[in-house]
Amino acid sequence: MLKDLFYRRRQYATLGTAAEPKPVQKPPEVVERDVPKGLVQKCEACGNLLMAKELQKHVYTCPECNFHFRVDARTRVELTLDAGTFVEIGAGITSTNPLGFPEYETKLAKAQSATGMAEGALAGKGEIDGMPVVMAVMDPGFMMGSMGSAVGEKLTRAMERACVERKPLILFTASGGARMQEAILSLMQMAKTSVALRRMHECGVLFVSVITHPTTGGVSASFASLGDIIIAEPGAMFGFAGRRVVEQTMRQKLPDDFQTAEFNLKHGMVDKVVHRKQMRDALAAIVRIHTARGWADAD
């Protein structure tokens, strides 16, 4: 019995020793390094990671899924016009706060600081393949591309210059609609720009409207839809009210591609969908045909 008890005590002691936990080794310290801002960008559609140089090489489109990244107005000018030919029109035009809307000046200052632009549109003269044109671009980064009185004035001056000098007008749209801080003054820009385009039409001057993502609200309901030729980038949203509002109003389920450039092409609202890589060549061809037929010099 003593031997048996002694044996068990040894056995328990051995088991206890074997079960003692081993010291935990700390994993090697991971050194986190910040990736410089703007060096890598993730595709919103497929999740592909793109280096900034690669993205620029593909004119800010994803080589995997052809998703078109948003670009600012100055980059759009660089991608479209001949280098060094752009001369800005109405550079000093900026918004004020005519209705005394709270904190509007602060929002304008933040947008100006973030984009380096005085307002949400850029207009001027330049050349595309050596052919003179007037070009205007709306910037989606400036208060969501909203249209206030200053934006309307800049676009109208571009239209008037095109009419006087009989040069084709190329206008890239990108907007969330009228700027709420300016209320009725913003909505008046729809009529103002439409009248200016009517005068252009009477002068026989070509107007090419290029739809980029997104083009909605009052912009889509006015000058964006009045082009002699309407081109859109792939996947660009083009419509007046949002999908949810339209579904609630119509009380029916809408197609998955509703309001996309491809949907509008299918239903006659757009003449052609053009990839950004071919956009400059397509616009140059349109201007060349227009100039060759002498429309710009017609009485």
N-to-C CA span, the chain: 126
Helices (H) and strands (E) in the chain, counts: 10, 10
Determine if residue 62 is labeled as part of a ligand binding site: yes
Determine if residue 163 is labeled as part of a ligand binding site: no
The secondary structure of 256-290 as a DSSP string is: TTTTSHHHHHHTTS-SEE--HHHHHHHHHHHHHHH
Q: Does an H or E element contain 134, and which?
A: strand 131-138
Q: Does an H or E element contain 12, and which?
A: helix 2-18
Determine if residue 203 is labeled as part of a ligand binding site: no
Q: Is the dihedral of CA 156, 69, 119, 181 positive or negative?
A: positive
- CA 296 to chain centroid, in Å, comes to 30
CA 215/CA 178 separation, integer angstroms: 11
Determine if residue 46 is labeled as part of a ligand binding site: yes
The single-letter DSSP state of residue 237 is -
CA 35/CA 13 separation, integer angstroms: 55
Binding residues: 43, 46, 62, 65
Binding residues for Zn(2+): 43, 46, 62, 65
